[in-house]
Amino acid sequence: MQQNHLELAPQKCEAVMLLKKRTDGDSDIKLRGETIRVETHVKYLGIILEQNLTGKTHIEERLKKATQVAMSTARILPRTFGASETQRRLLAAVSESIALYAAPIWAPSALVFSKYRDKLDRTQRVMAIRITRAYRTNSTEADLVLARTTPWALLAKERSQLYEEKKRISRQEGSAAIGTAQTGGEQIRNHTVQAWQERNAMFNCHRQWGPWDLGCGFHVLNAEMPSSDDQAGTRIQTDIK
């Protein structure tokens, strides 16, 4: 670095062991007389990097912040009056942006665990209730259908797939790359809608509906799901260019 006329400030440096599962003895680093401790995780460009790159610490921190924003926003959105649906949807997008920040990085590893998928649903439910002006007795699946908001877990997976598709087509050139990008993006978005339909169908089949339980989402989940065209107008798209 010195040959390239670059310098480091040792007192501002942080270190993390990314790929080694365990450390033996003193793992601190010495740089120009300064001791740099090896931490369990560090934050870089808003992304929390930890050992083995599981993404767990990052998604925990993101969801904590997104939940705080969602709860604060919900307090200024009364159920029976106030902001319009468009305004409510715009405010809900703030929590979505916070929760799904850097999704292509953490989604493949973190969403393997149902724990984090459930946490995403719980946070998203807060704003879905405000968008639809529904009662809290509604199921989360019904609220998301009525609000026309794709589950965040599926959105995170979609953005990860779009990122991988973008890397793949970046190796191509000319008009063929443009056509491939458009086709690939449409296929991924259609797959997301299909996955949402399958998720609701599974919820509908596994739940034991009682005679007084039909108002909690049974008829909603049997209605027509939003198509990929509907989604384009109700949420922020991540297009491949």
User: What is the C-alpha separation between 150 and 120, in angstroms, rounded?
Assistant: 12
Average pLDDT, the chain: 76
14 and 82 inside one domain: no
- Cβ-contact 8, 1 below 8 angstroms: yes
Position 152 scores a pLDDT of: 92
Helical residues (DSSP H) of 76-173, grouped into ranges: 85-99, 103-110, 114-132, 140-147, 152-169
134 in a structural domain: yes
78 and 169 inside one domain: yes
pLDDT tens digits, one per residue of 85-97: 888 888 888 999 9
48 in a structural domain: no
61 and 161 inside one domain: yes
191 in a structural domain: yes
203 and 174 inside one domain: yes
Confidence band, pLDDT 50/70/90 cuts, at residue 120: very high
Is residue 101 classed as helix, strand or coil in its secondary structure?
coil
47 in a structural domain: no
4 and 72 inside one domain: no
Q: Is the pLDDT at 104 greater than 50, yes or no?
A: yes
pTM: 0.71
Domains held by the chain: number: 2
Parent domain of 12:
1-39
Q: Which residue has the higher pLDDT, 104 or 214?
A: 104
Crossing angle of helices 114-132 and 140-147, in 10° steps, is: 50
119 in a structural domain: yes
Q: Which residue has the higher pLDDT, 90 or 6?
A: 90
Confidence band, pLDDT 50/70/90 cuts, at residue 12: confident
Give residue 123's Cα distance to chain centre.
Answer: 11
